Amino acid sequence: MHFVKKEPTTEEQKEQKRKEREKKLKIFSAARDRLFDKRQKGELDEEVLAISGQLLQKNPDVYTFWNIRRQALILISQKIAAENSDDEAKRDERLAALYKEEMILTEACIQENPKSYGAWFQRGWVLERTPKPDYQFELKLCNLALRLDERNFHCWDHRRIVCRLANIPLEDELKFSDEKVNDNFSNYSAWHYRSSLLARTHPDPDGRLPMDESTLAKELGLATNAFYTDPEDQSAWFYTSWLFDDQHAFAEGPVPVWVTVDRKKSTILLVMSGAVEAKTVGDMIATDADGEWIPADSQAQSSQVWLFKSSSLGPATKVTLSYKALDVQVEDEWTDLDAIRALLAPANPEGSLKTALEKMLASCQELATVEPHNKWPTFIATLCMRRLDAQANHDQILSNLEKKLPELDPKRAGMYADLASDIRVDRFLLDALAEYSPVPDTLRMVRMELTSLGQLHLFAGRLTQLDLSENRLKSVAALRRLPLLEYVTLNSNEISSLECLSDGMDNLEFVSIASNGLTSVQQIADLKKAKKLGRLVVCENPFCDDKEQLEELRRVFGDSVRVIPFWL
Amino acid sequence: MAQDALPTDFDVIVLGTGLPESIVASACARSGLSVLHLDSNDYYGSTWASFHLKSIGEWADEQMKDTNGTDGNPTADFSHHLLPGERLELVSPARRKVIKNVQHSWHVENAPQPPAAELKEEKTTATVGEPNDSVEQSSTAAVESPTVPQETQLAPTDAKDPQTTTLPSAETTVPSAETTVPSAETAVPRWTRDRVEKDWRRFNLDLAPKVLRARGPMVQILCQSEVSRYAEFKCVDRFLCSGEHGNLHQVPCSRAEIFQTDAIGVMDKRRLMKFLTFALNWENEPEEYRGFEDKPLKEFLESKGLTGLLQSYISDTIASLQTNPNTVEGLRAVNKFLTSVGRYGNSPFLWTLYGSGELPQCFCRLCAVYGGIYCLRHSVDYLIINGDNRCTAVVTNGQRINCQFLIADQSYLPEEFVHQRKSVTAVQRAVLITDRPLEASDDKEHITLLNLANDDNLGTVHLLEAGFGACIAPKDLYVVHLTAACSSAYNASIEQPLSKIVHKYFSTSDDVTSDNVASLANRPRLLWILYFDVVTEMDVNKETIPSNIGVVCLPDATLDYETTVESAKELFALFWPDRDFLPFALPKEEEDEDEAQHEDVAGPENTQTEQSSTADTAENSTEHRDEAKAESVTEAKSE
């Protein structure tokens, strides 16, 4: 009624309200307990569906209820399937009704909470089991949910499930993503969906690009349109940088680039072009010797560098590398230097891709002059230059990464420095390959402004002596990928811990870590696990001034290691 | 007659059902005042009405009539109504006709079947019947039945009641329409007059077409008063502007549209977006336009590299809420435009479905909901003024009805309260029926706005085009409204200045090849056109007018309702400063039946009901559980 004055609630009413709520809570707890009780007893029947359905409708986010429900559904549907085998039509009908009920419930739950993990998962689960699913309805539901919130990834996921089950033509979905991007191009989900579709509808025949050249050029144009319209919006920029991604260099998966068999030490070292898992390694390299493949990134499941530690790898033990057409016996070393070169310097693009990249570069450079405070045009221009011709643009790329970008975007200065460092390392390795033959086992990378080590691990099969002095390294975790390393010099860096070198570095004999930021012996204590370590130089670290620490140093390393805390 | 039924005392009497009066009337009723709303016409809306194709012809003919000599009811003596110290002032609406220069004509012929003599292009049809002022004989009518026909009006063949005219016209036109179909297949679909007239009911032709700005005051009062429930709206979804060679271009107004358009290069996209982003926050960045404040917006745009098409986008469309703006005014207008984009879609403007004439009716409806009494066809003969120069009552149909306040448009004012203006101003209007949209670029039907820069002494000409989707025309036909302000030296005798524009953008013959403007070869075909001017000749005489009479404005040439609503608001605030103007409706009862039983539903308690929803579940679930139990028991038995 209009104009009815609202009576203020009295204490009495509040009390009454509280009592009512208490009563309702009691009923809720009773229902929940009853549900759990029934599960305990294994009574997964229609009653379970009824109770959990009611509970979920109001609160769709209780996973446990959904789990109980699925268990019940499996049992009930099995029961239906088992009985009355002669009346098949009726049986199907009952099954359909059972699932239909479930679709109605999940829909209600999704309306209650459009981002309910449980409800969406249940819906996808049911959809795969329903005898006659109504895919058009599912698409409509997805469209509706996406209209309400276009960044609902549950909904995008569900859409993928529906499209897979219903065999919806990819072109249709591409059109859908066109619409979504046109509606609002700040939509990561739509761009991402688009990228995954294009990779399938317009695959690159050579497998080197994320999609075929002309499509890629078109997409770059579309992204250009978007970031010119709104350079502050990141989605188009991210899409662009994804289009540059050169992870596609070996489209058919990682290939082996280096195998070193050390029969004295009884180890095999394998370097791959990309990270692989243990099973792939085992399939690739056959040997009679006992032993185990260990990833050089000790914690990781997959790694680019693998080490085989054996006790029985004698001079006569066969080691065979077989990969695709390749099938060779490795005596002490096998390398594919062309593959390494390709990894260090991917071939420059030709044809329409080159044109598209040049256009993109020009656009970005133009935009950078109009939007001097936006980092993106400069960043993408840098990526463009690298992709177009990393060698010719080397200096410009480094100056962008080391001067311009850190100023524009100080929060990501570290990222730019790492990228620059990677580029320097790659260039250094490339030059080393060109200059020395065979590949040197000693590298001196001094005063190179390095903060990261790029693809240094491609040389892991040979590298035993490394000098990284006078750089800006903060972490040496990357050294783990160089398990053959014997002499390493890390003087004058910004390293504050060597904990990461704790295991796997069995060959280390000499470590010099003078003039770094070590404040406690504990930070290097793990080095004592390196069995062969003979000398350790720790001069000019903060802890060297502390007598207690010096004693600690002696205590930790004992007599086996000659620790040098002061220059002579 | 029903006149006895009218109460004799009201707080407010409103004369005329145009938009501003109706808004004030609804605000009064909503605020608890008693309202009597009278209109001498038999339709709602006064000069803000919408008509279908038949009645707009009748309206036009009515406006063209010579109206001299029939003022009120001068013979009758109403002096017995007067209290001591009071006097009568004669109301003479006929004298103060605001619609002038009316002209309407067909530009297609009838299908060739009927005798050819009658089918020539005719300018006026209705000269039937004497101007027997129906006003005198009007009766009171409830809001629900405003169109009860008067017998005297039915006498001429040119009947006003739609129901009596439907049948004959339908009978005559249906066969001819069918015969035109075969010819339509052979050539471009050729419209005939009878084919257009067949669907006369489908037209809603506005006298005062305007759009609602999504964040403008009209939308605000519609929403807060919940009048919005009585009407439906659609976005104006296409903006055109005139380019260098008179070509029409679609204007991208939102981020998404700028992203999609192929008409401008990426660098221009950047410049445009940059300008629009700045305009959203222009007040905080005065250094950006320093030195340009009072200079024309154009100069500022040029300084920002916004030239050519970009400049047309901005000055013709995005800044169109202000005509000939300087930089500050222009930026304010752009800001208004932009802040309205996105509220109801990618457009700042809404169009009222079924025509702009819906809005006055909606406010009347709200007024009636709150107790306002409505009488159409009910003219006022006299105002009664007391010795303190206050209007104390009106005399209508021989009855005296007292009031505290009187609201009226100026045509209801007695001679003594107005004086001739020094410079007459006018809104020039043209209403067109065409066969296809301007610059048809896709298959979708649009509601289109095109602002044409001024030439001659016209201000900006607003062109609004809509069709079936906007519920103002039958399928495949379009209605185009041209509106322009003629600010100085209005001269009713010169030829319609709007006709230039009509001839530029529309073709009046089917012979397309004879046009020498190649780019416009595909111009829409003009089928029917109505010209008229809304003329303001009089000003309120502030010295003589009683202080409790509020006078509302005529429709102006602005694009949206801002000036209209603001003036209604001002008027209301002037008379009732301590009352809220169309305040928010009171919170509704909770939909939940459960909660409806408790009285403490509104306000902060709502949060509590939210919290208790889980407990609710539990209750339901136990009920359900019992049911389920029962079911499983029966199942078990059957097994």
User: Which residue is listed with tokens 């609503």?
Assistant: B565
Q: A123 vs chain B: nearest CA distance in angstroms?
A: 21
- Closest CA–CA distance from residue A366 to any residue of chain B (Å): 8
In chain A, which among 339-398 make CB contacts under 8 A with chain B?
363, 366-367, 370-371
- DSSP structure string for B390-416: -EEEEEETTEEEEEEEEEEEGGGS-GG
Binned at pLDDT 50, 70 and 90, residue B28 comes out as very high
Q: What is the mean pLDDT of residues B228-236?
A: 94
Backbone angles phi, psi at B62, to 5 degrees: -60, -40
Q: What are the tokens at A456?
A: 């240094």
Tell me whether residue B420 is exposed, middle or buried, using C-beta atoms within 10 angstroms of its C-beta: 0 to 12, 13 to 18, 19 or more.
exposed
Instruction: Say if residues A350 and A343 touch (Cβ distance below 8 Å).
Output: no
In 3D space, the residue among A115, A146, A110 whose CA is nearest the CA of residue A126 turns out to be A110
Residue A210: which pLDDT band, with cuts at 50, 70 and 90?
confident
Q: Find the mean pLDDT for residues A183-210.
A: 84
A60 reaches B (C-beta below 8 A): no
The residue among A13 and B236 whose pLDDT is bigger is: B236
Residue B248, pLDDT score: 87
Q: Residue B203's closest CA among B434, B409, B502, B531?
A: B434
User: Which of A11, A28, A367 to substitute to test the interface with B, most B CBs within 10 Å?
Assistant: A28
- CA diameter of chain A: 100
Rounded CA-CA distance A500/A485 in Å is 15
Q: Which of B274, B608, B625 sits opposite A31 (nearest CB)?
A: B625
B319-329 tens-digit pLDDT? 888 878 899 99
Q: Chain B contact for A230, CB < 8 A?
A: yes
- Domain locations in chain A as residue ranges: 25-243, 256-335, 439-564
Q: Does position B457 have pLDDT exceeding 70, yes or no?
A: no
| Most confident residue range from A266-275, A554-563, B134-143 | A266-275
Q: Do A29 and B624 touch (CB under 8 A)?
A: no
Q: In terms of DSSP H, where are the helices of A285-412? A: 337-344, 351-370, 375-389, 394-399, 405-408
Per the CB < 8 Å rule, is A51 touching B632? no
Please tell me if residue A45 touches chain B, with a CB cutoff of 8 Å.
yes
* Beta-strand relationship, A465-467 and A487-489: parallel
User: Is B618 in contact with A25 (Cβ distance < 8 A)?
Assistant: yes
Q: What is the pLDDT of residues B431-443, one digit of tens each?
A: 999 998 998 777 7
**Helical segments of B285-424, H only:** 297-303, 308-312, 327-340, 358-369
> What is the mean predicted confidence (pLDDT) over A381-397?
92
Given a cut of 80, whether residue B138 has pLDDT beyond it is: no
Amino acid at site B353: L
- The percent of residues in chain B predicted with pLDDT above 70, rounded, is 72
Answer whether residue B121 shows pLDDT above 50.
Answer: no
Q: What is the mean pLDDT of residues B175-181?
A: 37
Residue A536 · residue A488 · CB < 8 Å: no
Q: Is A84 on the interface with B (CB under 8 A)?
A: no
Q: Is B530 left (phi over 0), alpha (psi -120 to 50) or beta?
A: beta
CA–CA separation, A49 and B69 (whole Å)? 84
| pLDDT range class, residue A80, cuts 50, 70, 90 | confident
Q: Between chains, do A30 and B267 touch, taking CB under 8 Å as contact?
A: no
CB distance A47 to A38 below 8 Å: yes
> Is-contact B375 B6, C-beta < 8 A?
yes
Tens of pLDDT along B192-209? Answer: 898 999 999 999 999 999
Q: Is the dihedral of CA A8, A9, A12, A13 positive or negative?
A: positive
pLDDT of B170 above 50 = no
Q: Which residues of A touch B605 (CB under 8 A)?
A: 9
B624 and A54 within 8 Å at the Cβ level: the answer is yes
Would you say A46 and A35 are in contact if contact means Cβ atoms under 8 Å apart?
no
Contact A54 B586 (CB under 8 A): no
Residue B532: is it exposed, middle or buried by C-beta count within 10 angstroms (0-12/13-18/19+)? buried
Q: How far is CA A376 from the centre of its chain?
A: 22
Question: Cβ contact (<8 Å) for B618 and A31?
Answer: yes
Q: How many CB pairs under 8 A join A and B?
A: 126
Across A53-62, A284-293, A442-451, B173-182, least confident range: B173-182
CATH class of A439-564: alpha beta
How much of chain B, in percent, has pLDDT values that exceed 90?
41
> Could you tell me the two tokens for A292?
């185990």
Q: Which of B273, B619, B620 sits opposite A229 (nearest CB)?
A: B273
Confidence of residue B608 (pLDDT cuts 50, 70, 90): very low
Rounded to whole angstroms, how far apart are CA atoms B317 and B311?
A: 10
pLDDT of A444 reads 95
In B, which residues are within 8 Å of A182 by CB distance? 256, 259-260
Facing A25 at nearest CB: one of B267, B273, B615: B615
Which among B153, B149, B146, B124 is positioned nearest to B49, based on CA atoms?
A: B146
On the question of pLDDT at B242 being above 90, the answer is no
Q: What is the pLDDT of residues A101-118, one digit of tens each?
A: 888 999 888 888 888 898
Q: Distance from CA of residue A123 to its chain's centroid?
A: 28
Q: Is the pLDDT of residue B57 over 80?
A: yes
Token pair 């619609």 is found at B99
On the question of pLDDT at B317 being above 50, the answer is: yes
Supply the pLDDT for residue B63: 87
Q: What are phi and psi of B359, to 5 degrees?
A: -65, -50
Of all residues in chain A, the one with the smallest CA distance to B611 is: A21
Task: Decide if A27 and B627 are in contact by the 8 Å CB cutoff.
Answer: no
* Cβ count near A171 (within 10 Å): 10
DSSP type of residue B227: G
Q: Is B625 on the interface with A (CB under 8 A)?
A: yes
- Picking from A2, A7, A230 by the largest number of B CB atoms within 10 A of its own CB, the best residue to mutate is A230
Count H helices and E strands in chain B, helices first.
18, 21
Give CA–CA dist A235/A385, Å, rounded.
21
Interface residue A59 vs chain B (CB under 8 A): yes
Q: Which two tokens stand for residue A475?
A: 């972490």
What is residue B455's predicted lDDT score, i.e. its pLDDT?
58
What is the rounded CA–CA span in Å between residue B274 and residue B268? 10
Please tell me which of the candidates A46, A185, A229 has its beta carbon nearest to residue B628.
Answer: A46
Can you tell me the distance from the alpha carbon of B213 to that of B205, in angstroms, rounded to the nearest whole number? 21
Fold of A25-243: 1.25.40
- Interface mutation vs chain A, best among B617, B626, B631, most A CBs within 10 Å: B617
pLDDT at B627 over 70: no
Q: What is the pLDDT of residue A502?
A: 64
pLDDT at B55 > cutoff 80: yes
Residue B492 — very low, low, confident or very high, per pLDDT cuts 50/70/90? low
What pLDDT is stored for residue B187 in this prediction? Answer: 47
Percent of all residues in chain A with a pLDDT value above 70, rounded to a whole number: 96
Q: Which carries the bigger pLDDT value, residue B187 or residue B189? A: B189
Predicted confidence (pLDDT) per residue in B375-402, tens digit: 998 888 889 999 899 999 999 888 899 9
Residue, of B262 and B473, whose pLDDT is higher? B473
Contact B63, B55 (CB under 8 A): no
Mean pLDDT of B599-626: 38
Would you call A13 an interface residue with chain B, using a CB distance cutoff of 8 Å? yes
Residue A535 and residue A284: Cα distance in Å, rounded?
37
* Residues whose CB is less than 8 angstroms from the CB of residue A552 and which lie 6 or more positions away in sequence, other chains included: A521
DSSP A539: T
- For B507, phi then psi, to 5°, come to -105, 140
Helix (H) or strand (E) holding B238: strand B238-242
Nearest C-alpha in B relative to A29: B618
Whether the pLDDT of residue A445 is over 80: the answer is yes
Q: Does residue B69 have a pLDDT over 50? A: no
Helix (H, G, I), strand (E, B) or coil at A199: helix
Confidence of residue A358 (pLDDT cuts 50, 70, 90): very high
Neighbours of B241 (CB within 10 A): 24
Chain A partners within 8 Å of B270 (Cβ): 228-229, 231, 367, 370-371
Q: Predicted ipTM?
A: 0.72
* Per-residue pLDDT at B624: 43
pLDDT band at A249; cut points 50, 70, 90: low
Average pLDDT over residues B176-183: 37
Q: Which residues contact B99 (CB under 8 A, 6 or more apart)?
A: B47, B63, B532, B533, B534, B535
Report residue B552 as tokens. 């509302």
Structure token digits, residue A239 = 């899409």
Task: For residue B465, name the pLDDT band (cuts at 50, 70, 90).
Answer: very high
- Per DSSP, chain A holds a count of helices (H) and strands (E) of 19, 14
pLDDT value of position A86 = 66
Residue B178 has pLDDT above 80, yes or no: no
Most A CBs within 10 Å, among B225, B257, B259, B620, to test the A interface = B259
| Closest Cα in chain A to B589 | A1
Cis before A133? omega within 30:
no
Q: What's the confidence (pLDDT) of residue B589?
A: 53
Task: Read off the tokens for B381.
Answer: 């003969």
Residue B442's pLDDT is: 75
Q: Is B419 on the interface with A (CB under 8 A)?
A: no
For B336-369, write each residue's pLDDT tens digit. Answer: 999 998 889 889 999 999 999 999 999 999 999 9
User: Tokens at residue B358, please?
Assistant: 């819906």
Instruction: State the amino acid at position A131 in one-letter form.
Output: P
Q: What is the DSSP letter of B473?
A: S
CA distance B261 to chain A (A): 9
CA distance A300 to B399: 97
Q: Report chain A residues whose CB lies below 8 A from the CB of B603.
A: 6
Say if residue B295 is exposed, middle or buried (CB neighbours under 10 Å; 0-12, 13-18, 19+). Answer: middle
* B258 with A229: Cβ contact below 8 A: yes
What length does chain A have? 568
Residue A290 has pLDDT above 70, yes or no: yes
What mean pLDDT is predicted for residues B169-181? Answer: 36
Q: What is the mean pLDDT of residues A474-485?
A: 89
Residue B566 dihedral angles phi and psi, to the nearest 5°: -60, -40
**Mean pLDDT over all residues of chain A?**
87
Residue A292 DSSP class? E
Asked if A21's CB is within 8 angstroms of B273's CB, the reply is no
Alpha-carbon span B460 to B556, nearest angstrom: 12
Q: Do A28 and B614 touch (CB under 8 A)?
A: yes
Q: Which residue of B has its CA nearest to A4?
A: B586
Q: Is the distance from CB of B317 to CB of B167 less than 8 angstroms? A: no
DSSP at B40: S
Question: Average pLDDT of chain B?
Answer: 77
% of chain A residues with pLDDT over 90: 30
Residue B168 has pLDDT above 60, yes or no: no
Angle at which helix A213-229 crosses helix A375-389, to 10 degrees, equals 160
